[in-house]
Amino acid sequence: MPACVYEYDLLVIGAGHAGTEAALAAARLGARVALLTTNLDTVAQMSCNPAIGGVAKGHIVREIDALGGAMARAIDATGIQFRLLNRRKGPAMHGPRAQADKRAYQAEIKRIVEGQPGLDLRQETVEDLLVERVGNQDRVRGVTVRGDAEYRADAVILTTGTFLQALMHTGEAKTPGGRAGEGTTSGLSRALHDAGFRIERFKTGTPARLNGRTIDFRRLEVHSGDEPPSPFSFLTDRLEIQQVPCWITYTNQQVHDLIRNNLHRAPMYSGQIRTSGPRYCPSIEDKVVRFAEKDRHQLFLEPEGRNTLEIYVNGISTSLPRDIQDEMFRRIDGLQQARVMRYGYAVEYDYCPPDQLRPTLETKAVEGLYFAGQINGTTGYEEAAAQGLIAGANAALKLQGREPLVLGRDQAYLGVLIDDLVTCGVDEPYRMFTSRAEYRLLLRHDNADRRLTPLGRELGLVDDHRWQRLQAKIRTIQHVNQLLDTHRADGHALAQLLKRPDTSWQTIAARLPELATVQSEIADQVTFDIKYAGYVFRQQQQIDRQQRLAEKRIPAGFDYNRIVHLRAEARQKLARIQPVSLAQASRISGITPADIALLMANLAGG
């Protein structure tokens, strides 16, 4: 028997962006939760860029917020620059993004976690999973930790980030660890392998950080935030902060020549690293090779906080040797005298292909065991936090014997993300884009609360304050719509005039003084609802057709071998992924309409 045994309802392993949201969500639903991490000083640490949001990622953050999560509130409290990206495009493409004070953000999330009733944050190094066989199904029972102790629970969520069997690369130098200055985790990889999980490896990277005192900012382009800044959280009325500028510079042909001449020392090209990295966030080595026709690449210099001179150089992620990194910066305008504070590096780590998960993020192999974040092959703080919230909520709901939270692709980017993972799997680190969402006109960032907060309230994820704010907002929107419907100008209702592409809210508000005091958030939502009503109606028709397909459920454990004419490839893929509906089955890569027709006929025949 271990020296100490601790009993909880649910354990979350890892306190990064996935782990903190998972633990908070489960605790909000009433579970007794232990959040275990190897270092309490790195809770919610921003391992790479000091920013939250962006195109599609900003949508995810607002959806997390609509369901009661912490990420949006934390960035509002600690952000140093706020921008709404893609303003010139339609509202579905708008993406809120904020630079963070990295240390302040980390401290704010830790404060929220420490203050959550029912949640214990504890510094522990997890070494193994406790799994027992119940009938013909493996079931998780807890974990063992270093120091001869056990934590026992009926649900465990693994949010291990890049720390599973992690190896860092800077040139020829290799160091065990999932983040600079920290170690790696090997015991959990062995435990997952022993439990029957497929384990593969991915790679990610990060750029160097520079000392701002040694940068010639006079030679750089200033990149300022929006005035006034727009908050992330639906609970934040306004932001009254002094924003900090970022700066822009560029690589050049001299830099590219240096990199080309030293590719034999780059781990990705020397054969030292053989795993896949994120295609949409390539290293500078990849950029120079893949886009050889370009004579320069844009670099953003982003402050890491208000009280530090450390500058993150966005756009030049690299694992080249230290001497080559030094020389690169000496050849970039404004950075000729810059001094490196932290060198860039790549990290290889284990992940479990996510087709081993159910749509709830529970594993198929071990009941009660959930995965969230980079263990599922994703990249990005926002994608990790989203999975954490869903995994935490579902683990708690299962413990309570309640129906799970499974969002459709028409309900949220969170639904798109998880459906993509569990249905299609990944062959490179997954990143969210607006193009992945078929119904993105419905899934705007501005209406995330109207879409998801009622569901969060029903489940118990949303508190009274957030619910009351949404109710007040909906009443205001209804009142404004009534004004637009009942007041006329030029023989038309104001709502009809606003529907015209060349008519702005300001034009309509000038016709009716009562509209002049409407908050910009309300005005935007009313305007978008009216202008895009026709498009939304057509998307809703598509959703209704897809819903009819989704309603045709596939029984758990369905035997695909009994469908005589089904192709062997289709049979294998369907058996491995175990789709819960015809709609999910139709999205599996390699499954044809003919396969779906056979499956539908077989299900109809009983």
For residues 156 and 201, membership in a common domain is answered with: yes
For residues 170 and 66, membership in a common domain is answered with: yes
For residues 478 and 421, membership in a common domain is answered with: no
For residues 579 and 525, membership in a common domain is answered with: no
Can you give the three-state secondary structure of 425-453, one letter per residue?
CCCCCECCCHHHCCCCCCCCHHHHHHHHH
Those residues whose C-beta lies under 8 Å from the C-beta of residue 301, and which sit 6 or more positions away, are 210, 215, 220, 246, 247, 248, 249, 311, 312, 313, 314
pLDDT for the residue 546: 73
* Domain of residue 286, CATH code: 2.40.30.260
Domain boundary among 506, 533, 560: 533
* Domain of residue 171, CATH code: 3.50.50.60
**Residues 100, 104, 110, 114, Cα dihedral to 10°:** -130
249-284 pLDDT, tens digit each: 999 999 999 999 999 999 988 888 877 777 777 899
* Residue 541 placed within a domain: no
* Residue 249 placed within a domain: yes
Provide the number of structural domains found in the chain: 4
For residues 167 and 179, membership in a common domain is answered with: yes
* Domain of residue 483, CATH code: 1.10.10.1800
518-557 pLDDT, tens digit each: 998 999 999 999 999 988 888 888 888 777 776 788 998 8
Q: What is the pTM of this model?
A: 0.92
For residues 489 and 519, membership in a common domain is answered with: yes
pLDDT averaged over 10-residue windows placed end to end, the chain, 606 residues:
91 98 98 97 95 96 98 98 92 94 98 98 96 93 94 97 90 87 83 94 94 98 95 95 97 97 91 78 91 95 97 96 97 98 94 96 97 96 98 98 95 95 91 89 94 98 98 96 94 94 93 91 93 89 77 87 87 90 86 83 74
For residues 28 and 174, membership in a common domain is answered with: yes
For residues 70 and 200, membership in a common domain is answered with: yes
Question: Domain limits at 582?
Answer: 551-604
* Domain of residue 585, CATH code: 1.10.150.570
* Residue 598 placed within a domain: yes
For residues 446 and 426, membership in a common domain is answered with: yes
pLDDT for the residue 600: 83
Element (DSSP H or E) covering residue 393 = helix 381-399
For residues 434 and 489, membership in a common domain is answered with: no
Domain boundary among 433, 457, 481: 457
For residues 452 and 488, membership in a common domain is answered with: no
Those residues whose C-beta lies under 8 Å from the C-beta of residue 1, and which sit 6 or more positions away, are none
* Residue 447 placed within a domain: yes
- Nearest CA to 451 out of 509, 389, 408, 396 is that of 408
For residues 64 and 83, membership in a common domain is answered with: yes
- Nearest CA to 334 out of 274, 391, 249 is that of 249
